[in-house]
Structure 1
Amino acid sequence: MNLIVRAPLLHLHSIAPSPCRLLLLLNRPCPSRYSVAARPLARAFSAAVEEAPATDDGSFFAEEGVSWKSLGVSERLCKALSNASLHRPSQVQASCIPHILTGNDLIIAAETGSGKTHGYLVPLINKLYTISPSCEGANSPEEVPEKQKISVVLCPNVMLCEQVVQMANLLLSDSGEPLLRVAAVCGRQGWPVVRPHILVSTPAALLNCIYAFDPEKKRRSEFLRDVKCVVFDEADMLLCGSFQNQIIHLINMFRFDEKQLSRMESSAQPSTMHINEKNDADFEIEDDIDGSNCEEIEGDEEEPEDIITDGSTVETGFVKDWRRVRKVYTRSKQYIFVAATLPVSGKKTAGGVLKRMFPDATWVSGNYLHCYNPRLEQRWIEVTSDTQVDALLDAVKSSYKCNHGNNDAVADRTMVFTNTVDSVESVAKILQRAGIACIPYHSETSLDERMRNLADFRENGGILVCTDAAARGLDIPNVSHVIQAEFATSAVDFLHRIGRTARAGQSGIITSLYTESNQDLVSAVRLSGKIGQPVEKAFSRKRSFRNKLKKRGRSAAVGTERILA
């Protein structure tokens, strides 16, 4: 693996992709109370790994000689990784772990299936688990010192929060218990009774909990002071659209605490000094990062959660912001941003925002960021109103026969993407009428139903008909075929959809149905693949062209709904 360092950018280069045995995913959903049974999850994970191909040409894993231990991971954690069938780090993991261990701010922009989640979980667990020399002899999370620092992982939705918790709980001690306490605060889950070492939450849920703390007892300031690392998973989604106000608000709160601590240490004030509970919420979004020009992502967003500030809803309209209060101060927290798509063309894109807010952060970029994965076999089918349904059935039946026409123990999986909830229901009815069983998945169903459907798909395979709620972040084993019944409406959605297959070194098939109304978008995407250019560069910076593509995409979606209905 050749590394080219361009401070603060670090980029990975390799000649070709590789199949591999490693699947950073699970085969069972997390229980609703997040009390994960460690041994069953480990067995499920091992079974998923054994289903994966055993070949590897060396470009997914780090080069020979690079091991977890050589990256600075403790002996106990190395053993836990090996027991979880994570014997070697991937290239992305090998690049980002040393930076996280040194405390540097880091931006990880790497393609789907490259190992980003364990890329930040492993060093976080390593730092927390070895916070005291006595920890090396600990056999359970309870033996780790109670008064310790905490890491926070922010995800855009409950399903991804659960997934992060499960992946962390795969790493077990000799006694079979998770190395550290990892808890999720989201959806119906409130603040855990026992303080966790890693807290996984949605932005709104974390803000609610922070403002629910009693200011008189200084619990709010104590929590902010104890947070030493904040991870923003699916960072491009968090920094745009409905999440942006919440994320900037949290960043400002953490930065304000850093400045308070720096001031306290520099002036040798008593340790009783704490954050002004009224001023820590006194921030707003600047005009040049208001998100109005960000490419909005349609994902698995939960029902809006009200953010409470001492009994009232948070309002945006305050005067102070991070730029106007910025000055030289001693850093005491680490910020890590993780994304599979992170456009930087334009100051209002997520990448542009990060470059301005964290100019000294190191960037780790994957081999195929924003590019076609060469392990993918692309099939393009132009359809009309008369041929669309037949083409869809042919694509699904060919995949269905391939997956279920044998007696193999491996349960292959096919994902069929549509642009709207109505289209999911229509496609599901079409398949059922044709005698093809399928599982629907979209954000308008209850969380419990989505969890059951996803568990069914993970464990038994089959066909999942879904919106882009399933396109981002979910790790599902052995998805061999992705079908776009309706073509994606943006380059970002397209990249996340096709990223559900050919993950972690495996191969996969993409079948894209498109109509005349999608022609401009499809031509731009296909051209970028032919010339080896990042997909995002296939789109003009001019707003008129971008709006034209979005308008055509919406028109195509409406037309498809009528056809499928």
Structure 2
Amino acid sequence: MLFIDCQVFDEADMLLCGSFQNQVIRLINMFRHDEKLLSWTSQSTADNASEVDLETLPQDALEQDEESPNDASQDDDEEIESLSEEEELEEGNEDGVSVQKKGWRRVLKPYDRSKQYIFVAATLPANGKRTAGAVLKRMFPDARWVNGNYLHRHNPRLERKWFEVTVDSQVDALIEAVKHGVESETSDSNDVSRTMVFANTVEAVEAVAKILERAGIECYRYHKDASLEERAGMLDDFREKGGIFVCTDAAARGVDIPNISHVIQADFATSAVDFLHRVGRTGRAGQHGVVTSLYTESNRDLVSAIREAEKLGRPVETAFSRKRGFRNKLKKRSKLQFASQ
């Protein structure tokens, strides 16, 4: 039997929230199963674990010791976040079986860990009990937290440009930003020019690409509707030849293209977390970069929160804690009007 003693979870904030959360936590519980058996069966004195016959204990009972968040269908975020830890234990889950689960937790909680779990993320929100950071703190209360100096903060190597646009000015502002970026990059360096242009939806990516092509600017299209082979080919070409890379947030995580000097938000990000991942594509490994953000009136509140945090030298976490209704409103209203041009 192969014993795995170290598990690494990349993009941990995405894996431990939303629709991924329950499945990933179940996977962690599976990894912990043999840890528990090894620990409990090796105990020589009678303690909490001696109250249980481990050989006859069902798998479900073992998993109840771990985090088991409810599905995403929850009440308003503020109501969830207002619950104290004590209230959370008393409330249990939606099926009303909290008494039984508390009993299992009292008996099964203690065990010696024999595996190492490493969770890696560029952003790790901890506001609210269902965020990735809060989940990790409950599951691994003794974990060691390691982070860089600029976690959730303004990167001083980035030059930020902010432009509030309207339906009438949006297209011209985009074309000017792309052309200006290309001209400045080619004049300042002998290296190839690389610019990433972000839009929020597949439809917006296609619309932006068509506008740029009509303006005589060739570009790549990168989104989920392209096959894995097509996306891999585009990444290789962009890495080698440079150019304009129009994409959704599918390219904001887990894609390492060196020497990207310019990131343009044709659509402003729908959350501060997505914003940080987008701008993190440039200014990497000690280099400098430029970020041009186009935003509309519907994005103004989020932009103000991000800029205020940067101005005060504080983490952008202050912009994380937005009501679900606010986020949904942004998602609906911030779809780029390029499609109608």
Question: Could you say which TM-score interval applies, normalised by the shorter chain?
Answer: 0.7 to 0.9
Within a 5 Å distance, the mapping from 1:171-190 to structure 2 comes to none
The alpha-carbon distance between structure 1 residues 325 and 232, as it changes in their structure 2 partners (threshold 3 A), is: farther
Q: Deviations over 1:240-299 (max 9, x none)?
A: 12221221111111111101112333369xxxxx998972797478665645579xxxxx
User: For the residues of structure 2 that align with 1:244 and 1:257, how far apart are their CA atoms?
Assistant: 22
Q: Is the 8 A contact 1:418 1:484 kept in 2?
A: yes
Partner of 2:281: 500
RMSD over equivalenced CA pairs, Å: 2.9
Q: Is the 8 A contact 1:521 1:549 kept in 2?
A: no
Q: Is the 8 A contact 1:249 1:281 kept in 2?
A: no
Deviation of 1:537 after TM superposition, in Å, equals 0.9
120, 136, 141: which one aligns with 1:338: 120
Partner of 1:532: 313
The alpha-carbon distance between structure 1 residues 400 and 455, as it changes in their structure 2 partners (threshold 3 A), is: same
Deviation of 1:326 after TM superposition, in Å, equals 3.4
User: For the residues of structure 1 that align with 2:4 and 2:283, how far apart are their CA atoms?
Assistant: 36
Partner of 2:5: 228
Deviates further, 326-335 or 249-258: 326-335
Partner of 1:552: 330
Question: Aligned with 1:479: secondary structure?
Answer: coil
Partner of 2:225: 444
Q: Is the 8 A contact 2:67 2:139 kept in 1?
A: no
Deviation of 1:506 after TM superposition, in Å, equals 0.8
503, 511, 514: which one aligns with 2:295: 514
Q: Is the 8 A contact 1:441 1:466 kept in 2?
A: yes
Q: Is the 8 A contact 1:236 1:342 kept in 2?
A: yes
Question: Aligned with 1:495: secondary structure?
Answer: helix
219, 232, 237: which one aligns with 1:456: 237
248, 253, 272: which one aligns with 2:25: 248
Within a 5 Å distance, the mapping from 1:14-413 to structure 2 comes to 222-223=1-2, 226-266=3-43, 279=59, 283=63, 288=69, 290=71, 323=105, 326-404=108-186, 408=190, 410-413=191-194
User: For the residues of structure 2 that align with 1:330 and 1:386, how far apart are their CA atoms?
Assistant: 63
User: For the residues of structure 2 that align with 1:504 and 1:323, how far apart are their CA atoms?
Assistant: 44
Partner of 1:50: none
Deviation of 1:327 after TM superposition, in Å, equals 2.6
Question: Aligned with 2:5: secondary structure?
Answer: strand
| Pairs aligned (count) | 309
Q: Deviations over 1:220-258 (max 9, x none)?
A: xx23xx010111111111101222122111111111110
Q: Is the 8 A contact 2:271 2:320 kept in 1?
A: no
Q: Is the 8 A contact 2:198 2:265 kept in 1?
A: yes
Matched, 1:465 2:246: yes
Question: Aligned with 1:402: secondary structure?
Answer: helix
Residue type matched to 2:12 in 1? A
Question: TM-score normalised to the size of structure 2?
Answer: 0.82
Q: Deviations over 1:423-466 (max 9, x none)?
A: 11111111111111111111121111110001111111111000
User: For the residues of structure 2 that align with 1:389 and 1:383, how far apart are their CA atoms?
Assistant: 9
User: For the residues of structure 1 that align with 2:226 and 2:108, how far apart are their CA atoms?
Assistant: 44
Q: Is the 8 A contact 1:421 1:467 kept in 2?
A: yes
194, 198, 201: which one aligns with 1:420: 201
Higher helix share: 2
What is the identity percentage for the equivalent residue pairs of Structure 1 and Structure 2?
A: 62
The alpha-carbon distance between structure 1 residues 326 and 413, as it changes in their structure 2 partners (threshold 3 A), is: farther
Partner of 2:85: none
Deviates further, 257-266 or 369-378: 257-266
Question: Aligned with 1:362: secondary structure?
Answer: coil
Question: Aligned with 2:250: secondary structure?
Answer: helix
The alpha-carbon distance between structure 1 residues 267 and 407, as it changes in their structure 2 partners (threshold 3 A), is: closer
Q: Is the 8 A contact 2:153 2:313 kept in 1?
A: yes
Q: Is the 8 A contact 1:291 1:348 kept in 2?
A: no
